[in-house]
Amino acid sequence: MAQGRSGIRGSRIGSGPMGEAERGDLAPRKAVSFWCGNGHHTQPSFAIEAEVPETWDCPRCGLPAGQDRDDVPVAPGSARYMTHLGYVRQRRSQEDGEILLNEALARLRGTL
């Protein structure tokens, strides 16, 4: 059986000298801080000429993060959970509900 020896043993595809001379100079960059609603801090780097976005997705929790630590953006569609009764109360007033309740009780009692 042949010994599995190869001339590229111990190296990986794409490996090679990783110096500035081969890859060129990096563009000047600036680091911008973002904070999410959970208090996570992230600091991505942007090119100096690039337009910095107002919000950035937090890499830890996925919530939108803003540049102001004290005024973080709210996630879109983060409405609180409502029960069926909560939705009914949005559509009807208390007086309408009492009228409907009295009609239903009268129908059950057979007086209507």
User: Measured between alpha carbons, how far is 81 from 67 in angstroms, rounded to an integer?
Assistant: 28
Confirm whether residue 61 is marked as ligand binding.
Answer: yes
58 marked among binding-site residues = yes
Tokens of 34: 């973002």
List the structure tokens of 37.
């609603």
Collapsed DSSP state (helix, strand, coil) of residue 12: coil
Residue entry with tokens 């996630």 = 75
Would you list the DSSP string of 22-90? HH-PPPPEEE--EEETT--EE--EEETTSPPPSEEE-TTT--EEES-TTSPPPPTT-PPP--HHHHHHH
36 known member of a binding site = yes
Flag whether 40 is marked binding.
yes
**Which residue numbers belong to the known binding site?**
36, 40, 58, 61
**Which residue numbers belong to the known binding site for Zn(2+)?**
36, 40, 58, 61
